[in-house]
């Protein structure tokens, strides 16, 4: 690309060459290109990457295990700019700093004015016998190849593949967890005495270990592999450990750290560190003129750092310097907030309390795998660091306050406090909000206000993230960004939108009240009155749920059928292979032998995979759509009804055996659980909700992990509310104690109906309770003291539901029109879906892996037999 100066002489564009096309290279290219303006100094950027992909999010690599999802960073528009050229699958093999050239694998010589090394790192492989037979977990291709091999070996051996993962850090845990979810038998080997020993202290590591073990992953700690064992054909069969034990293995994965890819620099005479990496200054300059290094290959202050935030900071420094700026690397921010294997983990600052005279405030709940620690100065005022395992909700509010005085007592941020975590909306402007992209609170506020004044800038969360970059990388700061946005808009006198979507301007709670007051009885009436357009997947299920709750109507009648998602339309949960699960209700976990026999007969007759759930029910998997009415006819005739595992409604009421059998029980937990489940069954709500009833303080029903928990005492029942497991676990909090049966039920009636009326879409009771003004105290005033004067109304609404309840499957079976929904193919109603293929494993049939479907056979211990299919 050439331009001309005022005298007509050609101006050659500065050529910036980037070696490496990962996240750091992407951030540098994006930052440099954004500085280019028409009429300014011309530039040309060429990015060489040896992978065939454009830059992708390595932090989210584990998501690729569940499918070939796109992890690409940013918009493809960046690579379509005339100033930018991306050359994937093109390796650079030599750098000549004196001639300012790079040599490609093809022999092509490319000159540069500035060279940026962003070559990243290799996965480290230990020096043990047969190490080359192992795999690494570093790139998209590594993950795709790993999944394909696991499926091939599973089909070949006709059993779960044995995977041994060496390394108990983030990537190792993600690899083990992801493969475990795919059906592999996963074992993890880690040299430390606890998991993530570089980021977590012993208490946190042990809490994490309990959670990982509960997922079925075997842990082998304080030990290393000494050899990969091979059979006579060179196939992996096991791993020998340094303590002499042997683990069976079909696949071995190494995830023990990274080694900087600094060979280009070393061969070019550019200074590298004693332990690897291109040595750089605070300006990210290497020892060679016009050569820079960023990301994992860069060695600053004697270390290479494998984190997103420092890599992004280096990229910004070099982009600024190339354009003539004076930026310096601000230092390493090693805060991490991770979501791995279904558990939240966060660590930041002086997490190990190495600061002299520091204090540690710790809350641990081993039964729940919960560990939280805040490190503060000896006067308990200045925040120095923290660790969170199991519940990392406080991280977003605490991380920006690192090194500053806390606005509340340290213990207020721990789950044991029970109340709402102090908000960070009043943070000073100079506080760093997003460490990944170095965005301050002030920058976010400025973007919200805009040049024209308060509220005239970015007033939508998505728009705000785009224009500031805050929350676009790891996402941990998004809750705080949202809180600041709402606070600033309210302070400016502007309305904060709570609309369901672009089709319905009301919030869910406003919609519920409007429908109730106006007495609307059908979804068409609601859409006509409050909707615009045809609606969407957000508003339509909410409207159908609101109408069903208030009318006790069949969920698919009155125009509601097309409003529901797949599960509600089928009155069953769809599984990964297109079949459905059947979950009959078993109130309180109590069931007669006769009913157990019916379930066994049904499962055997329809060849259903059968599993006992954590909610004291029996789940049967693998039913085809057209089989559901036949199966439910047998179950309904035997006295069963829908367990509504598919609905946003009551799921289960879990109970221990209580005083009927247990020598410690003080109340009849089973009778109460059955009574409650039969009372609230089928009640549609903003989100699913669960109850638990324990017959004594030993808490065998785990009631405090439920939305509503009831724990018996010698004086009556203690009522806990606002707990849940799942993505953001929360401990239920005590609402009232020593209640008799009738008072307990009236309080639960009020609590549940108040939640249904005022909670927003997909809001669990824990989050709803936290966001209510006054939190638990407000709930207690409404439910126990009737502060709003609506207790009688709430109880009447619940009584109406109880009176009009009808089992959805019983109602379906009575109506031929309703039964017409249950056909695999509209033009061939009795033809099963030919895509459903199953494979026998551990005495039951599971969905076939793609490789097994393609092969058409599965190898068992005997001869090859055809894969059993539903083809007629």
What does the pLDDT look like over 647-704, one tens digit per residue? 889 999 999 999 988 888 999 999 999 999 999 999 989 999 999 999 998 899 999 9
The average pLDDT across 347-366 equals 86
Here the CATH number for the domain that contains residue 357 is 3.30.390
Phi/psi at 97 (5° precision) = -65, -35
User: Cα angle at 657 between 651 and 662, to 5 degrees?
Assistant: 160
User: Cα angle at 275 between 273 and 276, to 5 degrees?
Assistant: 60
Q: Answer yes or no: is 417 within a domain.
A: yes
Q: Answer yes or no: is 110 within a domain.
A: yes
Helices of type H across 215-307: 263-267
Q: Answer yes or no: is 174 within a domain.
A: yes
Mean residue pLDDT across the chain: 84
Look at residues 256, 285, 309 and tell me which one is the last residue of a structural domain.
256
| Pairing status of strand 114-117 against strand 291-293 | parallel
- Is 656 annotated as belonging to a binding site? yes
Residue 595 host element (H or E): helix 593-605
- Is 477 annotated as belonging to a binding site? no
Here the CATH number for the domain that contains residue 462 is 1.10.10.1100
CA distance 397 to 413: 9
pLDDT tens-digit series, residues 329-344: 988 766 666 655 557 7
Q: Do residue 395 and residue 303 come from a single domain?
A: no
Q: Do residue 195 and residue 297 come from a single domain?
A: no
| CA separation, residue 633 to residues 642, 661, 814, 826, 851 (Å) | 11, 34, 10, 22, 36
CA distance 374 to 387: 7
Q: Do residue 599 and residue 686 come from a single domain?
A: yes
The pLDDT value given to residue 485? 82
Q: Answer yes or no: is 305 within a domain.
A: yes
Q: Do residue 249 and residue 141 come from a single domain?
A: yes
- Is 539 annotated as belonging to a binding site? no
Look at residues 226, 256, 286 and tell me which one is the last residue of a structural domain.
256
Structural domain that includes position 790: 570-804
Burial class of residue 740 in the structure, from the number of CB atoms within 10 Å of its CB (0-12 exposed, 13-18 middle, 19+ buried):
exposed
Q: Do residue 441 and residue 520 come from a single domain?
A: no
The average pLDDT across 247-263 equals 93
**Residue 126 and residue 254 in contact, taking contact as beta carbons nearer than 8 Å:** yes
Q: Do residue 171 and residue 251 come from a single domain?
A: yes
Here the CATH number for the domain that contains residue 215 is 3.50.50.60
Q: Answer yes or no: is 334 within a domain.
A: no
Q: Do residue 103 and residue 207 come from a single domain?
A: no
Q: Do residue 346 and residue 313 come from a single domain?
A: no
Domain count, the chain: 6
Q: Do residue 675 and residue 798 come from a single domain?
A: yes
Q: Do residue 310 and residue 447 come from a single domain?
A: no
> In the structure, what pLDDT confidence band is assigned to residue 566 with cuts at 50, 70 and 90?
low
pLDDT tens-digit series, residues 750-770: 999 999 999 888 888 988 888
CA distance 520 to 522: 6
Q: Answer yes or no: is 499 within a domain.
A: no
Burial class of residue 378 in the structure, from the number of CB atoms within 10 Å of its CB (0-12 exposed, 13-18 middle, 19+ buried):
exposed
Q: Answer yes or no: is 630 within a domain.
A: yes
The average pLDDT across 519-544 equals 79
> In the structure, what pLDDT confidence band is assigned to residue 828 with cuts at 50, 70 and 90?
very low
Higher pLDDT, 532 or 322: 322
Q: Answer yes or no: is 412 within a domain.
A: yes
Residue 164 scores a pLDDT above 90 = yes
Residue 712 host element (H or E): strand 708-713
> In the structure, what pLDDT confidence band is assigned to residue 2 with cuts at 50, 70 and 90?
very low
Q: Do residue 157 and residue 170 come from a single domain?
A: yes
Look at residues 494, 521, 549 and tell me which one is the last residue of a structural domain.
494
Beta-bridge partner residues of 239: 228, 247
Q: Do residue 118 and residue 197 come from a single domain?
A: no
**Residue 448 and residue 485 in contact, taking contact as beta carbons nearer than 8 Å:** yes
Taking the CA of residue 727 as centre, how many other CA atoms within 13 Å lie in the half-sphere pointing to its CB?
Answer: 6
Q: Which two tokens stand for residue 176?
A: 């083990």
């Amino acid at each position: 690309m050439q331009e001309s100066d005022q005298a007509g002489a050609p101006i050659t564009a500065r050529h910036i060459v980037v070696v490496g096309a990962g996240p750091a290279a992407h951030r540098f290219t994006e930052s440099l290109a954004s500085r280019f303006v028409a009429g300014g100094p011309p530039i040309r950027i060429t990015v060489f990457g040896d992978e065939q992909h454009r830059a992708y999010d390595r932090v989210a690599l584990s998501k690729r295990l569940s499918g070939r999802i796109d992890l690409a960073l940013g918009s493809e528009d960046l690579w379509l700019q005339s100033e930018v050229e991306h050359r994937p699958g093109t390796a650079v093999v030599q750098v000549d700093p004196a001639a300012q050239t790079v040599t490609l694998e093809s022999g092509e010589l490319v000159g540069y004015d500035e060279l940026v090394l962003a070559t990243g790192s290799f996965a480290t492989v230990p020096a043990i016998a047969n190490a080359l037979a192992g795999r690494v977990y570093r790139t998209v291709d590594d993950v795709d190849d790993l999944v394909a091999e696991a499926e091939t070996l599973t089909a070949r051996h006709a059993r779960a593949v044995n995977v041994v993962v060496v390394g108990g850090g983030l990537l190792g845990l993600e690899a083990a967890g992801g493969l475990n979810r795919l059906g592999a038998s996963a074992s993890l080997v880690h040299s430390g005495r606890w998991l993530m020993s570089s980021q977590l202290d012993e208490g946190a590591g042990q809490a994490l270990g309990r959670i990982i073990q509960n997922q079925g992953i075997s842990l082998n700690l304080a030990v290393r592999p000494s050899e990969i064992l091979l059979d006579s054909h060179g196939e992996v069969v096991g791993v020998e450990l340094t303590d002499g034990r042997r683990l069976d293995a079909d696949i071995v994965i190494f995830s023990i750290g990274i080694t900087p890819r600094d060979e280009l620099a070393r061969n070019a005479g550019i200074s590298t560190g004693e332990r690897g990496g291109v040595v750089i200054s605070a300006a990210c300059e290497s020892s060679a003129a016009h050569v820079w290094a960023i990301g994992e290959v860069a060695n600053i202050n004697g270390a290479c750092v494998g984190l997103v935030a420092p890599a992004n900071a280096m990229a910004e420094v070099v982009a600024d310097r190339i354009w003539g700026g004076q930026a310096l690397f601000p230092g390493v921010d090693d805060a991490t907030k991770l979501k791995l294997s279904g558990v939240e983990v966060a660590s930041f600052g002086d997490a190990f309390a190495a600061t002299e005279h520091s204090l540690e405030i710790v809350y641990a709940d081993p039964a729940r795998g919960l560990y939280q620690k805040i490190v503060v100065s000896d006067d308990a005022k200045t925040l120095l660091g923290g660790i969170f395992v199991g519940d990392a909700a406080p991280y977003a509010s605490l991380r920006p306050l690192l090194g500053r005085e806390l606005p509340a007592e340290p213990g207020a941020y721990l789950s044991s406090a029970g109340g709402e975590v102090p908000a960070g909306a009043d943070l000073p402007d100079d506080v760093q909000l997003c460490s990944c992209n170095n965005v301050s609170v002030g920058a976010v506020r400025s973007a919200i206000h805009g040049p024209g004044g308060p509220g005239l800038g970015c007033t939508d969360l998505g728009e705000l993230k785009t224009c500031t970059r805050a929350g676009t990388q790891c996402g941990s700061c998004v809750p705080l960004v949202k809180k600041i946005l709402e606070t600033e808009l309210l302070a400016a006198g502007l309305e904060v939108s709570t609309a369901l979507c672009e089709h319905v301007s009301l919030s869910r709670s406003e919609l519920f009240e409007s429908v109730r007051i106006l007495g609307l009885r059908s979804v068409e009436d609601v859409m006509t009155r409050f909707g615009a357009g045809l609606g969407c997947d957000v508003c339509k299920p909410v409207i159908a749920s609101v109408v069903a709750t208030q009318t006790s109507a069949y969920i698919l009648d009155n125009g509601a059928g097309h409003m529901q998602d797949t599960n509600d339309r089928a009155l069953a949960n769809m599984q990964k292979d297109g079949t459905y699960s059947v979950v009959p209700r078993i109130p309180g976990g109590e069931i007669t032998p006769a009913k157990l026999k019916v379930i066994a007969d049904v499962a055997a007759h329809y060849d259903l995979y059968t599993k006992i759930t954590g909610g004291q029910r029996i789940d049967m998997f693998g039913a085809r759509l057209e089989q559901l009415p036949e199966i439910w006819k047998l179950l309904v005739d035997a006295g069963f009804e829908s367990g509504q595992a598919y609905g946003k409604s009551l799921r289960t009421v879990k109970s221990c055996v209580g005083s009927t059998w247990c020598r410690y029980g003080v109340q009849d937990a089973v009778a109460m659980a059955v009574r409650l489940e039969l009372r609230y069954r089928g009640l549609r709500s903003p989100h699913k909700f669960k109850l638990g009833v324990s017959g004594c303080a030993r808490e065998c029903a785990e009631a405090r992990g439920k939305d509503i928990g009831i724990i018996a005492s010698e004086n009556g029942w203690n009522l806990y509310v606002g707990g849940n497991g799942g993505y953001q676990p929360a401990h239920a909090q005590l609402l009232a104690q020593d209640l008799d049966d009738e008072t307990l039920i009236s309080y639960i009636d009020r609590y549940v109906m108040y939640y249904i009326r005022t909670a927003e879409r997909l809001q669990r009771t824990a989050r709803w309770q936290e966001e209510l003004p006054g939190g638990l105290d407000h709930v207690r005033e409404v439910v126990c003291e009737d502060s709003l004067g609506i207790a009688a109304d709430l109880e009447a609404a619940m009584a109406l539901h109880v009176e009009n309840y009808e089992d959805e499957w019983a109602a379906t079976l009575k109506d031929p029109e309703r039964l017409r929904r249950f056909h695999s193919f509209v033009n061939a109603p009795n033809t099963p879906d030919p895509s459903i293929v199953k494979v026998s494993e551990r005495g039951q049939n599971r969905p076939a892996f793609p490789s097994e479907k393609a092969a058409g056979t599965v190898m068992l211990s005997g001869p090859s037999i055809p894969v059993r299919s539903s083809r007629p």
